[in-house]
């Protein structure tokens, strides 16, 4: 019994150390840029020497991998919290999904770059860390299928439309709303292309 309690305590302590390292890594990435992350800087922020990090992460890419999984898990949890409140009609639902992803993506540049752009040379997430991203996309496909949107090209167009506006926002108006203001209009154009009817009086009167 004592051995089990000690092992449990050690496991919790190890996990706490990993989370502290990841928090430091995110802080470095946000301050200096994702690609500028160094083991020396991360270690200094948690009161370690750089070689000591290897007892928790096998490499810098392993830290990126854990950060990637953490970021997509955060978004997956956001989806789970907000999904029950999504409106039922297709057009406002598509807008709700687009706004949720857009707002999450423009809230944190380092997180967005790691989640969605190939910023780190030779980095590819592990299957375990990639799993929440897969589940998010599968969930989106299922919800869109329930709206009658099943063609892969139509789903790809929707994700590219929203992601493109995110990238434009970051590239040309970080911290502003120039492309955020175009989001509903862009989704309306998409819905019009697919023949999704306007079900709201306000939409009909535009």
CATH number at residue 16: 1.10.10
Side-chain-side CA neighbours of 147 within 13 Å: the count stands at 24
More confident site: 6 or 141: 141
Residue 41 and residue 113 in one domain: no
Q: For the segment 169-196, what is each residue's pLDDT rounded down to a tens digit?
A: 999 999 999 999 999 999 999 999 999 9
Residue 163 and residue 76 in one domain: yes
Residue ranges making up the domain that contains 63: 59-205
Residue 22 and residue 74 in one domain: no
- Please compute the mean of the pLDDT values over residues 69-91 and round it to a whole number: 90
Residue 48 and residue 67 in one domain: no
Confidence of residue 5 (pLDDT cuts 50, 70, 90): low
Exposure of 110 by Cβ count < 10 A (0-12 exposed, 13-18 middle, 19+ buried)? buried
Residue 53 and residue 67 in one domain: no
Confidence of residue 9 (pLDDT cuts 50, 70, 90): low
Angstrom CA distances, 199 to 84, 138, 194, stand at 20, 26, 14
Whole-angstrom distance, CA of residue 163 vs CA of residue 106: 10
Residue 50 and residue 69 in one domain: no
In the chain, % of residues over pLDDT 90: 80
Query: Which stretch of DSSP H or E encloses residue 94?
Result: helix 90-106
Residue 87 and residue 161 in one domain: yes
pLDDT given at position 114: 97
Confidence of residue 70 (pLDDT cuts 50, 70, 90): very high
Residue 6 and residue 21 in one domain: yes
Counted domains in the chain: 2
Which residue bears the tokens 């139509």? 154
pLDDT given at position 84: 74
Q: For the segment 97-154, what is each residue's pLDDT rounded down to a tens digit?
A: 999 999 999 999 999 999 999 999 999 999 999 999 999 999 999 999 999 999 999 9
- Please compute the mean of the pLDDT values over residues 78-101 and round it to a whole number: 89
pLDDT given at position 87: 63
Residue 83 and residue 105 in one domain: yes
Residue 49 and residue 66 in one domain: no
Whole-angstrom distance, CA of residue 67 vs CA of residue 168: 24
Residue 34 and residue 117 in one domain: no
CATH number at residue 82: 1.10.357.10
pLDDT given at position 1: 58
Residue 47 and residue 142 in one domain: no
Which of 57, 78, 104 is the last residue in one of the domains? 57
């Amino acid at each position: 019994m004592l051995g089990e309690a000690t092992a449990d305590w050690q496991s919790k302590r190890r996990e706490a150390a990993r989370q502290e390292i990841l928090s430091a890594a995110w802080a470095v990435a946000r301050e200096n840029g994702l690609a500028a992350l160094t083991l020396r800087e991360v270690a200094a922020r948690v009161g370690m020497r750089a070689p000591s990090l290897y007892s928790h992460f096998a490499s810098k890419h392993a830290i990126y991998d854990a950060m990637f999984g953490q970021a997509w898990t955060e978004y997956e949890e956001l989806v789970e919290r907000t999904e029950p409140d999504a409106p039922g009609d297709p057009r406002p639902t598509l807008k709700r999904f687009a706004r949720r992803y857009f707002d999450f993506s423009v809230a944190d540049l380092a997180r967005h770059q790691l989640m969605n752009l190939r910023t780190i040379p030779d980095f590819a997430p592990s299957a375990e860390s990639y799993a929440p991203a897969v589940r998010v996309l599968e969930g989106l496909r299922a919800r869109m299928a329930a709206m009658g949107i099943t063609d892969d090209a139509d789903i790809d167009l929707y994700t590219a439309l929203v992601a493109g506006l995110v990238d434009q926002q970051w590239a040309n108006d970080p911290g502003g709303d120039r492309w955020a203001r175009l989001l509903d209009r862009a989704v309306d154009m998409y819905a019009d292309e697919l023949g999704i009817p306007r079900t709201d009086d306000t939409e009909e009167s535009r």
